[in-house]
Structure 1
Amino acid sequence: MNRTGALAVAALGLLGLGVLARGRWPGSAPALDCEPGAVRVVEGVAVCGDGALPSAPQRLLLGQKLDLNTVSESDLARVPGVGSSLARRLVREREAGGRFRSWEQVADVPGVGAARLETLQATTELR
C-alpha cells in the first residue's frame, strides 16, 4: 500500500471513531431529575434526595451558585478569577459593612473590576 492509501485508511478510521464517539457523547439533558437545591452528595456522588449538602467546591462543579454573603474566604478563593487576596477583601468588606445588597456594592470593593464582577455574578448570588 502506498502512502496515499495508508492516509486514506487512517482518515476513514478516524472518521469512524468520530461517528462512534458522537453516538456515545452525553446529551444536554440534566443528569439528575431534581431541582438544583435538592441535590445532595452521598460518598462523593451527586444524587437527588437524602445525603449531605454539597460543599462550596462541589456546588461550583455542579454549576450551582455560592451565596456571596455567607461563603467562607477559603471557598471564595477557589472561584476561578477571584483568588485569595480578593476573597479576603470581599469577606472583610462584608464583615465591616454587612451583607452585600447590590452588585454595585460588590463593584466598589478594591480589585473588583468589570471582568471580576462578571465572574462573581456568574458564580455567586446575593441572598
Structure 2
Amino acid sequence: MTGRTAALAVVALGVMGLGAVARWRWPDSASALDCPREVVRLRPDGVATCGEGARPTGAQALALGRRLDLNAATAEELALLPGVGASLARSLVEAREVAGGFGSWDAVDEVPGVGAARLKTLQSATVLGAAPDTGAVW
C-alpha cells in the first residue's frame, strides 16, 4: 500500500508541476500586434496585420475580440452571435430601422424574441454606437 501511495503522490506532484508550467507559459491577453485595434487589417490569407489589408467583417471582428455596433451591424453579422440566429437578427435590424437606431438597452429589450438571456449576450458582444477602439461597423 505504501508503494501505491508514493506512486500516486509522485503522479500528483507531476501533474501539479505541469499545471504550473502551463500556467506560466500560457498566452496572456496582450495583443500580438504592435498597433491599436482600430488599424488591425486582414491579409487575403486571413492573417491579421497592422496597416494594409481589408477591414475585418463582423465575424472576423468578433474573432479578434471586437464588439459589433448594434446600430450598424447587418442582419448577417448579428445572426453569427450565439443565441441570436437569422430570425432575431432580422427583427433587430427591422426594429432599429423603425426607431432610427437603438438609443438604450431597454429599446433592444423591447424587440420581440430578445428576453433577458439574449439581451445579456447582445450586451457582451455589441455596443450601442461605435466602440471606442473600433471603426464604423464594430
TM-score using structure 2 length: 0.78
SS at match of 2:31: coil
Residue by residue over 1:75-101, the C-alpha shift from the partner in whole angstroms, topping out at 9 and shown as x without a partner, is 211111322221121122223343223
1: distance between equivalents of 2:77 and 2:108?
17
SS at match of 2:48: strand
Partner of 1:46: 48
Q: How does 1:97-112 map to 2 (within 5 A)?
A: 97-112=99-114
Say if 1:19 and 1:102 are closer, same or farther in 2 by CA, change over 3 A.
closer
Partner of 1:80: 82
- 1:31 and 2:15 correspond: no
SS at match of 1:54: coil
Identity %: 58
By how many angstroms is 1:30 displaced? 2.7
- 1:60 and 2:26 correspond: no
Where do 4+ consecutive residues of structure 1 move more than 6 Å?
A: none
SS at match of 1:2: helix
Q: Which amino acid aligns with 2:46?
A: G
SS at match of 1:51: coil
Q: Which moved more, 1:35-44 or 1:23-32?
A: 23-32
SS at match of 1:47: strand
Partner of 2:14: 13
By how many angstroms is 1:11 displaced? 1.6
1: distance between equivalents of 2:6 and 2:13?
11
Q: Which amino acid aligns with 1:29?
A: A
TM-score using structure 1 length: 0.84
Size of the aligned set, in residue pairs, is 127
SS at match of 1:116: helix
By how many angstroms is 1:32 displaced? 2.5
Residue by residue over 1:92-120, the C-alpha shift from the partner in whole angstroms, topping out at 9 and shown as x without a partner, is 22233432233232222112223322221
